[in-house]
Amino acid sequence: EVHLVESGGGLVRTGGSLRLSCAASGLDFGDYVIAWFRQAPGKEREAVSCINNRDGATFFAGSVKGRFTISSDNAKSTVYLQMNDLEPEDTAVYYCAAGRYGLLIRLPSEYGMDVWGKGTLVTVSP
């Protein structure tokens, strides 16, 4: 059975940092794109960042570019989202998701993802 488990969320002040982890099991990790999405209260879910484990390509939403980085540890089947210089607008539930793509040229749509974690809450206080 395929599972994705997020961790690392919490409460941080503006300008602070958090590192989210997405641990995968039950899938061939190296064949998947792992993406982070977030959903703020009253807003639609949006893609934040992703990494294609097939070729290492990474993509970021414009709102987080330069502040967030993403990395993958294939030996641990875990993807990390390092979030720096956090802003109150980053407050949301963050979800990781896995999907199979060949060549990825942009952030994936949520509809293209096959497996989802349950999410972890990130709260950034002013």
Please give the Cα distance from 89 to 40 (Å, whole number).
Answer: 8
So what's the pLDDT on residue 79? 98
Report the mean per-residue pLDDT for the chain: 96
Tell me the C-alpha distance between 53 and 31, whole Å. Answer: 6
Q: Are strands 68-73 and 120-125 parallel, antiparallel or unpaired?
A: unpaired
Asked if residues 97 and 6 have their Cβ atoms less than 8 Å apart, the reply is no
Render pLDDT for 74-106 as a digit per residue (tens, 0 to 9). Answer: 999 999 999 999 999 999 999 999 999 878 889
Average pLDDT rounded to a whole number, residues 7-28: 97
Q: Residue 118 — left, alpha, or beta (φ > 0 → left; ψ -120 to 50 → alpha)?
A: alpha
